[in-house]
Amino acid sequence: MAIFGWTNASQREVPNDTWPFWLYLLLVVCVIAVYITLDLSGDTLHNGDIDDQLRGLFLRLLLRSSGWYDLSLPTVRGPEIYISPWSRLIDAPYASIAFALQYFFGQERSIDIAFKMWPPILGAIYSILIVSVLKRLCPSKADLPVKTLLGLLIVMPYAFWEFSPGRIDHHNLQIVLLLLVIYGISRFDMVGGATVGVSVSVSTAVGLETLPISALIFIALSCTWVFNVRGSRTMLGSTGIACLVMPPILMLVLIPPAHYWTMSADAFSMPYIQALSAFGLVSVLVSIGLGERYNRMVRAIILLFLGAAVLTCILLQYPLMASGPFSMITGPSRLYWFDRIQQEMTSLQFFRTQDHIAIALLATMSLTLVLAAPSARRSISEGRPQLPIIYLLACALVILVFLSNRFLRISVGVVPLLMPLAIRELAARWRSLSEKDAKVSAVIGCFAALPLALLLLTPKSPDAPESYDAFDHLLWKSCEHHDLTAISLLGRSKVMTPPALGLHIILNGPGNVSVSSIPFHRSAPAISRFLRTFMTSDGSERSALLADFDYLALCRIPRGLPGEGQMPLLQSLLAGEEVEGLEPMVPARPTDLMLFRVNHSY
């Protein structure tokens, strides 16, 4: 139990009125179980998305002996074979469970059991981490009564739903790793530093969404050494050792030998391995080699120089890193596909769609940070860096939500843990007010809360539907309610498809065809090619774009939509006109699936 409490007496004295760890853990587990039960009671998972479907396909391919290092998807050719950037680290527990059970239940049933079993197991680990972090931030029962614990758990549903059975994407593990980082920071000792280094390294290998947070963690720990904060040498040194050890291990486990020195800006590869290892080396050198010598200015200059040197060397070796992880998304695929994905938009999208729950969560997290600021500032003056660093990470997560709402679920899994501190500060301020001031503050608070209440309680207007144009319909219609009999009759062939239809075919089709695109960022060049095929009025250019494919498939969409005039081919096909080089295939029964044979003799 020592690891769950505030055991370092030199850092913080353990209060006498500590709350019971195991009872609070049981409460957290019960609340998460209730949320997951509510999630399973609907037709679809609250946080479920197409990532779960594609990962399920990759896992099935892995268990059918596709090979641990083989991340290719042969049924997607745009015309190059699709290579996934996803990490096998996520696949490992599912594959292990399925492999262990397949003797008793058969392969397909074992896979289904694994998909339902592992996310709740991760949820249990997440529960332990929640209580462990709270034990260090708020060890006193006065600071964390049961009602406060219930209050912060109530606002975390989006995080809890990441652990619902069937939610097999990587975000649940990222939340667990991020909380493990925060737990390591809260310890601020040798074990805590090792925990931070291992967690950041594994998180980078799992996915790159949390890279900004990882960079901020390293900067914050470096600053504690610069300012000679008590325990910073041990913390930075052990973090550095872990960052030296873990990346090579992860490289051996996840990357085939032939690709050790390759660069993938959107996946764990050599540039990130070098960055993590270089941070580890620099951290060990300055914390152990330099120790407590030199003043703050010299320390800062040394770290800035070494950091700049590392980044320069990496960029000189891999100049394409400067273009970012989504450099392949350009032209039509960015304009008509990526920029329209809601989770890639700023938090203003919550207000455009009147997403009341998301707005309330964002407001709650922002208010929590404002109220908890005095606690973080007081910890700085007391020479305790744990809370300030955790507070800084929470601020960064909320800022990321404002920039891209894809971070809402991750932020909700972390920021509410500061609510007990915010409530304590609010209560202290309230007690310090005179009766008159309290009444004035109450009136001001009511008026301030009124606009938010009106916004949250106002129902979405039924006469203001979402407006979608021809590009949206063409790219996102999947013919999901129509059978794929026509596709099954094609034999082995390559079909040019829009992304949503392509995903539907590879998940539910006969497996005898390959599609050109699916709705994932590495398929962006193929999505651009598909759009250019429809947007060009030059027959020879269209023939060149279709040259690598045997068929063209799309779902029938309504006519007369905005944007249809920008796609001459779409207008002609919807009107039933003859198009040179495309021969319509008449289906046996009525369907929205439109299929054309590509005649390469033209």
205 with 321, same domain: the answer is yes
Q: Model confidence over 443-479: pLDDT tens digits? A: 555 555 555 554 555 455 444 456 789 999 999 999 9
18 with 84, same domain: the answer is yes
What residue numbers bound the domain in which 397 lies? 341-460
- What is the count of structural domains for the chain? 4
Is the CB of residue 204 less than 8 Å from the CB of residue 211? yes
56 with 23, same domain: the answer is yes
165 with 206, same domain: the answer is no
The whole model's pTM is what? 0.91
| Residue 291: CB atoms within 10 Å | 11
397 with 500, same domain: the answer is no
Is the CB of residue 508 less than 8 Å from the CB of residue 53? no
5 with 143, same domain: the answer is yes
Q: ∠ at Cα 313 (308, 318), nearest 5°?
A: 125
Burial 508-539 (b: 16+ CB within 10 A, else e): ebeeebbbbbbbbbbbbbbbbbbbbbbbbeee
Q: Model confidence over 252-273: pLDDT tens digits? A: 999 999 999 999 999 999 999 9
- Dihedral angle, C-alpha 6, 8, 10, 13, nearest 10 °: 30
Please report whether residue 333 resides in a domain.
no
131 with 278, same domain: the answer is no
Single out the residue in 135, 159, 187 at which a domain terminates.
Answer: 187
pLDDT less than 50: residues of the chain: 1-12, 454, 458, 461-464
pLDDT given for residue 467 in this prediction: 77
Structure tokens at 194: 């090792």
Single out the residue in 127, 155, 187 at which a domain terminates.
Answer: 187
